[in-house]
Structures are given as structure tokens and as C-alpha cells.
Homo-oligomer: A and B are copies of this chain.
């Protein structure tokens, strides 16, 4: 999908136009979402950059970087996205020149959309400050997406922390692994994003308006904090896994304890039966009228005694 927002300085208005209506002298934001072949060709004609660089723009797995091109600065970030199974990250490119910003993405990115869909008044304010400022706003919002997803992950972790202790099962572990994988991807993405922002700060992205560079420091601070949060959550997940493993092992041991206790309950009666199964000629109980009942009383008594003893010792 291709769509264009164009800012008319004279009338101070931002309006969505078609590709053909793009005016060279006006400020434009061309958003290129999961483009098909024809759209790719169309865009290529407009921006005219080397083929390999263009391929990098639309490759979802491209590593974040800042690249100098003839007429553009190419900034690639990793943005988070939520899928039904687990969150991950996707590459997202911005081509910035003085009056054209092109964004490439393969997925719906909330952060980008929130800028695109700003109400008229705020949108004018943002566009007035130029392409660099729009790029900054998008970057900022994308980091906000990380914060939002991490908040969700924190909620999941709180549930997991209770589960591993109270009812540990394999599903919990699968959840832990899945979250941990997400966090590893986030860590990788964020640390490369940090390098990108740091490169911008060192003015490697020439088309970024120097007066706007200062803003990117806020993005930098956010990223540093995000990386720290990711580390904290990974830490908690690791210790949750430890607790899970211990819980499982402990539950198993408690079952063993109970079974051993049950077994022990039977051993003493068995001994008693063995006792009166002996063949001695001179055994008073054998010929005693109440011998059999006496044996039963012994057996029942021993079970009751052992049972209450084990109960008292909390062995059941």
C-alpha cells in the first residue's frame, strides 16, 4: 500500500494525496506498507537510489543502520510488533531528504500510525517542523510501542511468577521460553537501535536537520531504559525457570514421600502376619481362642499408631 501526506506551506494544511499529485516543492511523507511489485517499481522511480540500497529498505530482516546516499539519509530501525503467538521485531526504514520522507514497513506499526492519524491541528504542527522532526516523532512513538509491549510482558511475568510456584506445569515453561525469546530479540533490536540513534547524534545522518538532533537524545534515553527493563525481565524469567524446576522436583519428592509412607504403613502388619505364620510347635497365641482377633487388633493398632505418628511428623 502506498499513501502520501503532503504539507502545503502556503495554506498551512496537511492533506492525503495520490502519488501523482506529489509536488516537488512541498513537504511529503510517502508511506510504503508491504508494497507489491508495481508499487515497488513506482517508488523506485521516484526516489532513484541504488538497487541494493533499495532492497535493504524493504527487507524485513535488515540490520538497523544509518547510511549516506546521494540525496537521502537512510535510517533503519527495528520496531516491535505483536502477533497472536508472541511479539517480535521487524525492520523499518526511513529515507530522509529535505522535503521528502519515505517510510518502508512490512507490518502494521502502531507508533507510525499514531503519527499518521494525528488530528489536523497536531499534524500541522509536526509537519511544519520538517521531515527530520516527523522522523523523530515516529522514532519516539516506536520506542513507546516497546514500552507498551513490555508492560504487557510484565503482566504476563506476574502471572508466571505465581504459576511456577502454585501450579507449575509445562505450559508455564513454554510461556517462559516464548517470553524469553521475545526479550532476546528485543535486546538485540534495541541495542542496534541505540547504535543508530548514537550515530544520528554524531551527525552521521547528514539529511537530519542539526537543530533536530537534540531531540533524538530523548529517543536515546528511552532506548537505554528499555534495554535495562529487558534485562530486568530476563533476569526474573530466569529465576522463574529455576523456581519452576525446583517446584516440579519438590512436588515429585512430596509424592515419593507419601508413597514411601504408605509403603511403610503396610510393612509392620506384614511383619505381624509373618510372626503368626511361623510354624513353632509351642506358640501360645496360635492355640488361643482369640488369637486371630488378637492378631487383627495388633495389625489395626500398628496401622493407627504409624498413621498418627506420620501425621504428627507431617510425613503425609
Binding site for B on A (CB under 8 A): 63, 147, 158, 161, 165, 173, 177, 180-181, 184, 187-188, 191-192, 195, 199, 221, 224-225, 228-229, 232, 236, 238-239, 241-243, 245-246, 248-250, 252-257, 259-264, 266-271, 273-283, 285-292, 295, 299, 313, 315
Q: Are B249 and A256 in contact (CB under 8 A)?
A: no
Of B249, B278, B291, which is within 8 A of A295 by CB?
B278
* 20 A-B pairs with C-beta separation under 8 A: A63-B147, A158-B181, A180-B236, A184-B236, A187-B228, A199-B221, A245-B250, A255-B257, A259-B260, A263-B264, A264-B266, A266-B267, A266-B271, A273-B275, A274-B274, A276-B279, A277-B277, A280-B286, A280-B295, A281-B287
A232-B184 CB under 8 A given contacts A256-B256, A263-B264: yes
Query: How far in angstroms is the closest Cβ of chain B from A151?
Result: 9
Q: Are A253 and B249 in contact (CB under 8 A)?
A: yes
- State the number of copies, please: 5
In the assembled complex, which residues on chain B have CB atoms less than 8 Å from the CB atom of A283?
279, 292
Q: Which of B221, B260, B313 contacts A263 (CB 8 A)?
A: B260
Q: Which of B225, B250, B264, B313 contacts A252 (CB 8 A)?
A: B250
